[in-house]
A = this chain, B = another copy of it.
């Protein structure tokens, strides 16, 4: 039977999305003769037919090494909570019936939803309304349960580790403390793993509220052992014990930390006042999402794309592909989005960091 499947990418962009799209298109067309409809800008593109297009083999030629997503993505467009203009006011409205209808009209008989926590939850709701969906997990923070890792995470780690290598030269030459803020609002994986790989001396993650005195002490001890510089990696969601979470730009008078524009700057200021060292902070920011995907992410993304088509072929709707060891498996989306995968403060990765002499924000 000639099938027509749709694919969309939702949430923040991530290296490897194009590998997934290419994997879906190739394995659907070459091996099965199906049709693939590309939906633009996440769930947003489901609302208008002019934002979908048939994807042929030519459309995915040469996209494997490219970052981002050729389909575009969006953090908006939740059809259960969609901003609709009404008499000059914007009201969040449930337009999911319309979306389900639109999917049917396009002749799409199964949908591949590539996205994180948020997008997969929307996918689940659409499933319940009768749309056959399979999922592909995407999270650059690596905070999704039920999969060892997802694509994009490894490339982000490469970018962060490379940045740490670069900061080392300056820190060492100028005898400075350099603080680098990386992504990770709730989960500290990027900070933890890039910190280990980049030879950091202190790592701050949301899962272990830090004690600034311990951080000072750790750096001070390094100085006394003759190390004239130190490197600190802080996840954006890291926060001082007893203090509130630091949210960039949304300042409040109540919390002096917030006014400073982020955890990196907060730590820099605190360290400057308690150590007699030059201190600099920087925010790695959007660089972490960009760039050509690493070989790991290209391979994983491609395999996820192939796996998603296989799930559709076997009509295992409501499942998403995942990685276990070296194998692609599948798991129910419902199970995967139940909660975030956080760093275990007593787990192996934190243990390894501490064995390597890295202070993970606590005594």
Contact = CB atoms under 8 A, between A and B. Distances in A.
A69 interface: yes
A138 interface: no
Copies of this chain present? 4
A348 B327 contact: yes
A217 B22 CA distance: 23
A166 B291 contact: yes
Contacts of A194: 295
Contacts of A117: none
A166 B290 contact: yes
A75 B161 CA distance: 27
Interface string A34-68: 00000001000000000000000100001011111
A96 interface: no
Contacts of A296: 154, 157, 197, 296
A168 interface: yes
The SS class assigned to the A binding surface is helix
B327 A324 contact: no
Given A68-B170, A73-B174, A174-B73, A302 B149 contact: no
A173 B69 CA distance: 6
Contacts of A247: none
Interface of A: 9, 12-13, 15, 17, 22-23, 26-27, 30-31, 41, 57, 62, 64-69, 72-75, 148-149, 154, 157-163, 165-170, 172-175, 178, 193-194, 196-199, 225, 228, 261, 280, 282-283, 285-287, 289-292, 294-296, 298-299, 302-303, 306-307, 309-310, 324-328, 348-349, 351-352, 354-357
